[in-house]
Structure 1
Amino acid sequence: MSNSNEKKSAEDVGSNSSRIEEHDVFGSEHDHDIQYKTLSWQFVAFLMIAEIVSNGMLSLPNAMAAVGIVPSLVLTIFLGIFGLFTAKLLVDFKLNHPDVHSMGDAGYIIFGPIGREVLLFGTIVFAVFGAGSELLSGQLALSTLSNNGLCSTYLLVIFSVATLVMALPRTLGRLSWPGFISAATITLCGILAMVGAGVSPTPGRSLSATVPTTFYDAFLAITSPVFAYAGHFRFFILISEMHRPEDAMKAAWTLQVFATIFYAVFSVVVYCYIGPTVASPALLSLSPVWAKISFAFGLVNFLISGGLYAHTAAKLVFVRLFRRSRHLYSHTVLGWSVWIFLCFAATATAFIFATAVPIFSDLVGITASVFASWYTYGLAGFFWLYDTYYLDNGKEALRRRWGGTLLAVATILAGAFICVAGTYVSIKLIVEAYQSGSVGKPFSC
């Protein structure tokens, strides 16, 4: 009887494995020239840290100066825990639906064809804008290191070409070690920035535990910690290229714990030494020498992270075009031609927006409000409700698991609030910039 049960259990495991492989985005890769499912959870964590911490860290001290130490810290820690919770819901949804490669695929399951197109479009736009943001960070770093020795537009062109090269590998596995280097350099950049702030503190600075402010100013400040965790839009893509997707939560735990602790320490240290005049990005508030040292290490992260964003935008379109086709996993002329074109298109579009649109940084805020608020927070609630209803016992399961149902609904409402409030604040910021005449000119040095 024991041998019979063991045999049956082995057959069940094999059957389940075959089912997952059959519905997996990339299917069985035994005879594929290009194998995607090679990432370990450790390298997934490095890739996520490289992307998320890069955009989130440098604006947090300025947000703390606007609202005070206590509200900023509470929000940073709460959002870190909240982000871990929504990551768990996203990972569970991906494991239940191995064919999901992007937010667009998830949108198709829950909302139908329109949901797929809207969420896929939003993911591509967010990835392109993320690449553009990294290009501007790289431009700023090069300008600082060269003492503005070259027109900033030329520096942006140089950095864009390097970013394109970084985006070209077809699989994320090829970017795993660069991802590790990127995570290490942005961490070192933050540490050096804290040292630089401590070495040359602002004399006569005043610190505030809390700062009275209006809703507009407060929410404008807290958009930094809100979107400092806005990397969930890539979770499905990363998990799809893991050789053990069931380990994805280990990567999520590593990311959220590291990011939350690092954000909290960095923002407090820099704010305490620089005070309420701390700029965004915070490296601009350091002495010239320490700013250059910090930017030198940050530059590596900006380059690799920009490549990852452009790679993501290209990958979304590429998989949509060639899913289940030999061009996806074989070295075909068509496959490589389309891939290189998509990487170029993503990087070029990011460059054009970054240099030709004077209010690009504010547009990034709008994009984050409209899409990242849902990708990082709100949609996770829909994922839980859908799977509980369709994979469990319908309405009875929702009633029986009422605690989870309430949390899921609250998550959806939180995403909606961040979306509406963040969009309002970003649009008002643009209007005020034009009214004050502070908007720059396209392609200016």
Structure 2
Amino acid sequence: MSQPGDLEKKGEPGQVHALDPDGTSSVDTFTQLVAEDHQHEIKLRTMSWQKAAWLLAGDQVCLAIMAQSWSLSVLGWVPGIITMLVAAAFFWITSITMHKFIMKHPHIRDICDFGYYAFGKSRIAYAFSSFMLLANNIILIGFHILTGAKILNTLSDHSQCTVVFSVICTLMGIVLSAPRTLKHVSFMSMFSAACMGMSILLFMIFAGIEDHPLVGNTANWPSLGPVRTYAFPLPGTTWVQALNAVLNITFLWVPQILFPTFISEMEKPQDFPKSLAVLAAISIILFIVPPAVGFRYLGQYASAPAFGSLGVVSYKKASFAFVIVPTLIIGAIYANVTAKFIYYKIMRQSRHAHSNTVIGWGVWILVMGSIWGIGFIFSEVVPSMGDFLSLLGAAFDSFFGFIFFAIAYWQLYKRELFSGLGRSVMTLIHLLVLLSGLFLLGPGLYAAVEAIISDYSGSTTPAFACANMAI
């Protein structure tokens, strides 16, 4: 991977030589980058927009969807659905802004390069983005290891120590992460999205046909009375609970940390909006309809994930079983992006970086194993990965889902922010995006930290414990 300040120098693998005189880029620039990449033995820039769409869907159609019924149970119908729709609108607008910025700076290879250029070629922004990329992705890999262990605990009735299940998931993750190109990972993503879709469908069927839920997030059936839904938060809902529910929704709608890497491996990056449109169509349905169905039938008993609230054990196992596939494959996607960042820092312009050599593959496997190993440690030592997801939403998504793209918009249009009605509206929207990011970074981060402190003050599972973590 390139160093900040060297991104435009000739000779760096996969990097553009220079910008056009007017500071813009053209399709010809990407054609040149693709031609340069295709001279290597291992070719990265090979994804079509269709494969990119599958990769996006595989990344986004995930277990976090099944936490949204709980968010609705905290917020109620009105604030909950409004939050989802606003998050969807921000997702589309910021993703399009990101793509336009990358089209102007085609040498961007990851979110770190994006931050470097968005903040005026700042080395500090590059270093900050690098730390945030590694921290965000490795913690998420830990979350997927923990989720995999929960699934195996649930399906096997805790037949083994939970640490054993975590080790199994870690080893499986390393194997699935072995491909060096995202084009190959996109094939797995098709299967991942299909399995998660099947899991969601089974959940909705089972939630509808069973008599009542069993296990709730705060109390079990029937201690809170008959299942009911409500338009607004119930009396007694705290600020921390409400904001954590908002962060839960925000986390689901902010995957852009991976998008620059996805775009950099497309054969025609200018086609990315087509892939994005497919993802948006899938997301607007899956991110709202299943959570709404879950809230309708689970009501105040909704848990995160919603599978845990199902009253019939066989229903819970049948629907939850399919989640093992997207859990591991999504972890592999995050691992691939993270490993590439580290790998190209190590290999630089060496021939091993783009060749099938023993050294090249040895370093790749070593980097991948280290990433999953650190993720495994995270999965074992944190008390509640749900709260840590809220922390990710506040600390990381505030930048990678909001602030970065508001700054990028300013860089793109700083000479014409209010040059017409349409541009003025978009400027005001991006100002709102910036303020939303700052809000998540301030009060949102406070709420996430308070929730984690609360976890530590109560009874927590010891690190590397064998305790049953089945839902």
Q: Identify whether the pair has TM-score above 0.5, normalized to the shorter chain.
A: yes
Shift of 1:115: 0.3
Distance in 2, Cα, partners of 1:124 & 1:68: 35
- Contact 2:192 2:325 survives alignment (8 Å): yes
Which amino acid in 1 is paired with 2:286?
F
- Contact 1:102 1:120 survives alignment (8 Å): no
Residue of structure 1 in register with 2:69 after alignment: 61
- Contact 2:49 2:275 survives alignment (8 Å): yes
Residue of structure 1 in register with 2:301 after alignment: 277
Question: Do the aligned partners of residues 349 and 306 (structure 1) sit closer, same or farther apart at CA in structure 2, a change above 3 Å counting?
Answer: same
Residue of structure 1 in register with 2:217 after alignment: none
Matches within 5 A, 1:152-163: 152-163=162-173
- Asked if 1:267 corresponds to 2:288, the answer is no
Matches within 5 A, 1:130-145: 130-145=140-155
1:407 corresponds, among 429, 436, 446, to 429
2:319 corresponds, among 282, 294, 298, to 294
Shift of 1:48: 2.0
1:80 corresponds, among 88, 97, 107, to 88
**Which deviates the most, 134-143 or 352-361?**
352-361
Distance in 1, Cα, partners of 2:194 & 2:385: 28
1:372 corresponds, among 385, 392, 397, to 397
Matches within 5 A, 1:288-437: 288-389=313-414, 394=415, 397-400=416-419, 401-435=423-457, 437=458
Matches within 5 A, 1:145-294: 145-202=155-212, 204-212=226-234, 213-286=237-310, 287-294=312-319
Distance in 1, Cα, partners of 2:132 & 2:35: 26
Which amino acid in 1 is paired with 2:451?
L
Which amino acid in 2 is paired with 1:283?
F
Shift of 1:16: 4.7
Shift of 1:364: 3.5
Shift of 1:372: 1.5
- Contact 2:63 2:196 survives alignment (8 Å): no
- Contact 2:58 2:190 survives alignment (8 Å): yes
- Asked if 1:90 corresponds to 2:98, the answer is yes
Segments ≥4 residues shifted beyond 6 Å: none
Question: Do the aligned partners of residues 277 and 37 (structure 1) sit closer, same or farther apart at CA in structure 2, a change above 3 Å counting?
Answer: same
Distance in 2, Cα, partners of 1:324 & 1:415: 37
Question: Do the aligned partners of residues 91 and 320 (structure 1) sit closer, same or farther apart at CA in structure 2, a change above 3 Å counting?
Answer: farther
Gaps of 5+ in 1: 1-14
- Asked if 1:32 corresponds to 2:40, the answer is yes
Shift of 1:241: 0.7
- Contact 1:89 1:384 survives alignment (8 Å): yes
- Contact 1:314 1:342 survives alignment (8 Å): yes
Question: Do the aligned partners of residues 55 and 86 (structure 1) sit closer, same or farther apart at CA in structure 2, a change above 3 Å counting?
Answer: farther
Distance in 2, Cα, partners of 1:170 & 1:77: 36
Alpha-carbon deviations, 1:342-386, whole Å to 9, x = none? 111110010011013334443343233111122112211111111
Alpha-carbon deviations, 1:301-355, whole Å to 9, x = none? 1111111121121112123344554322112333222211111111001001101
Shift of 1:20: 3.3
Shift of 1:84: 0.6
Distance in 1, Cα, partners of 2:211 & 2:335: 37
Alpha-carbon deviations, 1:216-250, whole Å to 9, x = none? 22112111111111211000000111111111111
Alpha-carbon deviations, 1:54-90, whole Å to 9, x = none? 1420110011111112221121122112101111011
Which amino acid in 2 is paired with 1:398?
L
**Which deviates the most, 414-423 or 361-370?**
361-370
Residue of structure 1 in register with 2:465 after alignment: 444
Distance in 2, Cα, partners of 1:399 & 1:85: 18
Residue of structure 2 in register with 1:106 after alignment: 114
Shift of 1:279: 1.1
Distance in 2, Cα, partners of 1:28 & 1:356: 44
Shift of 1:398: 2.7
Residue of structure 1 in register with 2:79 after alignment: 71
